[in-house]
């Protein structure tokens, strides 16, 4: 019997005077959930419905109250915008590179910290978790100062160690986008490390002992044993990383000052924010947000399907 049928039966029993403890608990829990469901509808369902409604309108700062429905014209304008396709490509690169490096670095650090010969693990955990624990506002602005072309710590380090000339990290489009990507990776790898550590600690040591007795090398143990057993925990974490990186407005907006130089470092999230709250094109921005949601939803579904493998 489904939960809805059980609840309906419990309410019917209550109306007929046939209360029993199990039915009373179900009805009580149902009434306790009503305020939470109402709050969820107010803060999530209504804004989502209103945003979809705006995407079919000509709402703007000049027509913020008397906007009119215009059908799918805003969606057509989104797909006809050449800059949308350019920024979509940058967003894909940003998301793929950031997620891959975050997972790779986090997994590598987790494997190293999981070894018995590592001393001072609490201290290592503390320092490696700092990028994740630090507020993104402070971290992004700090890294912006470190990537300064003349007085930044990054250029000074590269000049003293490798003898490289100063690099214009914040004024050159490619270098600015690369620097923002590195900052995003630095902020995100601790989460992957923590998830991988939890997964590694759940693997019984007896499995590795059996693999060693069979003559398996360290790499073979990782490929045939560690990686498959980590998949159930790393797949959801990687999915979250894809979603977070795809929608990560803070790094671009704070580190590159909203897409500078010349709007060359925008991803879709920052481009959407600028069109909505700088250019005040609310209808167009609402349509773009729906398109972004559809792209991300389809991409995540495809990734999950590929990650689960053949059944």
> 90, 266 in Cβ contact below 8 A?
yes
Distance of CA 278 to the CA centre of its chain: 24
Shared-domain flag, residues 89 and 223: yes
The pTM score is: 0.84
Higher pLDDT, 78 or 20: 78
Looking at every residue in the chain, the average pLDDT score rounds to 86
Would 286 be classed as within a structural domain? Answer: yes
Shared-domain flag, residues 90 and 147: yes
Q: According to the model, what pLDDT value does residue 11 have?
A: 57
Shared-domain flag, residues 156 and 297: yes
3-state secondary structure at position 46:
helix
**pLDDT tens for residues 166-185?**
888 888 889 999 999 999 99
Would 51 be classed as within a structural domain? Answer: no
Shared-domain flag, residues 24 and 154: no
Q: According to the model, what pLDDT value does residue 286 have?
A: 94
Q: According to the model, what pLDDT value does residue 16 have?
A: 53
- Cα angle 229, 104, 193; round to 5: 70
User: What integer is the mean pLDDT of 225-248?
Assistant: 92
Shared-domain flag, residues 11 and 107: no
Shared-domain flag, residues 8 and 138: no
Q: What is the CATH number of the domain that holds 281?
A: 1.10.3720.10
> 288, 81 in Cβ contact below 8 A?
no
Q: According to the model, what pLDDT value does residue 13 have?
A: 55
Would 112 be classed as within a structural domain? Answer: yes
Would 298 be classed as within a structural domain? Answer: yes
**pLDDT tens for residues 9-56?**
655 655 555 556 776 787 788 888 888 888 888 888 888 899 999 999
Shared-domain flag, residues 98 and 172: yes
Would 211 be classed as within a structural domain? Answer: yes
Hey, which of 36-40, 64-68, 99-103, 296-300 has the most confident mean pLDDT? 99-103
pLDDT at 95 over 90: yes
Residue ranges of the alpha helices (H) in 16-72?
A: 21-40, 46-54
pLDDT at 241 over 90: yes
Number of H helices and E strands in the chain, helices first, is 15, 0
pLDDT at 75 over 70: yes
Q: According to the model, what pLDDT value does residue 310 have?
A: 56
Would 69 be classed as within a structural domain? Answer: no
Q: According to the model, what pLDDT value does residue 151 have?
A: 81
Would 7 be classed as within a structural domain? Answer: yes
Q: State how far the Cα of 164 lies from the Cα of 150, in Å rounded to an integer.
A: 13
Q: State the DSSP code for 225.
A: I
Q: State how far the Cα of 130 lies from the Cα of 127, in Å rounded to an integer.
A: 5
Shared-domain flag, residues 111 and 207: yes
Closest by CA position to 256, among listed 160, 198, 182, 179:
179
Range of the domain at 33: 3-46
Q: Per-residue confidence at 211, pLDDT binned at 50, 70, 90?
A: confident
Shared-domain flag, residues 86 and 27: no
Shared-domain flag, residues 218 and 269: yes
Shared-domain flag, residues 19 and 146: no
Would 244 be classed as within a structural domain? Answer: yes
Number of folded domains in the chain?
2
Shared-domain flag, residues 128 and 25: no
């Amino acid at each position: 019997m489904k939960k809805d049928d059980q609840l309906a039966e419990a309410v019917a029993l209550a109306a007929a005077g046939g209360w029993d403890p199990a039915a009373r608990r179900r009805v009580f829990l149902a009434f306790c959930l009503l305020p939470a469901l109402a709050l969820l509808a107010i803060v999530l369902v209504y804004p989502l419905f209103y945003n979809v409604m705006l995407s079919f309108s000509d709402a703007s700062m000049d027509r913020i109250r008397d906007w009119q429905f215009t059908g799918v014209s805003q969606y057509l304008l989104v797909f006809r915008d050449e800059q949308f396709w350019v920024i979509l490509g940058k967003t894909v690169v940003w998301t793929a590179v950031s997620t891959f490096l975050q997972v790779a670095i986090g997994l590598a650090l987790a494997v190293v910290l999981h070894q018995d010969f590592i001393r001072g693990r609490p201290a290592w955990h503390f320092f490696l978790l700092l990028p994740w624990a630090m507020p993104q506002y402070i971290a992004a602005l700090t890294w912006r100062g470190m990537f300064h072309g003349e007085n930044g710590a990054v250029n000074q380090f590269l000049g003293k160690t490798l003898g490289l000339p100063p690099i214009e990290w914040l004024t050159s489009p490619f270098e600015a986008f690369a620097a923002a990507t590195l900052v995003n990776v630095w902020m995100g790898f601790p989460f992957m490390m923590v998830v991988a550590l939890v997964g590694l600690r759940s693997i019984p040591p007896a499995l590795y002992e059996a693999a060693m007795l069979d003559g398996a090398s360290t790499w073979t143990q990782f490929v045939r044993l560690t990686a498959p057993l980590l998949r159930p925990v790393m797949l959801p974490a990687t999915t979250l990383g894809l979603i977070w990186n795809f929608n990560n407005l803070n790094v671009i907006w704070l580190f590159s000052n909203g897409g500078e130089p010349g709007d060359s470092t925008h991803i879709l999230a920052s481009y959407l924010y600028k069109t909505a709250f700088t250019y005040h094109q609310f209808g167009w921005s609402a349509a773009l947000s729906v398109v972004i949601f559809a792209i991300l939803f389809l991409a995540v579904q495809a990734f999950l399907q590929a990650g689960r493998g053949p059944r």
